[in-house]
Amino acid sequence: MRRGSLLASFAYAAQGVRYALRTQRNMRIHAAAAVVVITAAALLHLSWGRWVVLLLAITLVMAMELMNTALESVVDLASPEIHPLAKAAKDTAAGAVLLAAIFAVVAGVIVFYRPFMDLLGLGG
Ligand SMILES: Nc1ncnc2c1ncn2[C@@H]1O[C@H](COP(=O)(O)OP(=O)(O)OP(=O)(O)O)[C@@H](O)[C@H]1O
Q: What is the CATH number of the domain that holds 62?
A: 1.10.287.3610
Is the distance from the beta carbon of residue 86 to the nearest atom of ligand 1 less than 6 Å? Answer: yes
Q: Please indicate, yes or no, if residue 114 is contained in any of the structural domains.
A: yes
Q: What is the ipTM of this complex?
A: 0.90
List Cβ neighbours of 13 (8 Å cut-off, separation of 6 or more): none
Q: Which segments of the chain have a pLDDT < 70?
A: 1, 124
Residue 21 lies in a domain: yes
Q: Write the CA distances from 100 to 42, 90, 103, 118, integer angstroms.
A: 23, 16, 5, 28
Q: Are 108 and 58 in contact (CB under 8 A)?
A: no
Question: How far apart (Å, rounded) are the C-alpha atoms in residues 15 and 119?
Answer: 40
Q: Domain count for the chain, please give it.
A: 1
pLDDT value, residue 91: 98
The answer to whether position 86 is within a domain reads yes
124 located within any domain: no
> What is the domain range of residue 111?
6-119
Residue bearing the CA closest to ligand 1, atom 30: 87
Domain assignment present for 1: no
What confidence score (pLDDT) does residue 2 get?
Answer: 73
Answer yes or no: are the C-beta atoms of 75 and 89 closer than 8 Å: yes
Q: Which of 25, 61, 82, 90 to mutate to test the pocket of ligand 1 (most atoms within 8 A of CB)?
A: 90
pLDDT of residue 121: 87
Half-sphere exposure of 123 (CA within 13 A, CB side): 10
Q: ∠ at Cα 6 (62, 72), nearest 5°?
A: 35
CB 41 within 8 A of CB 49: no
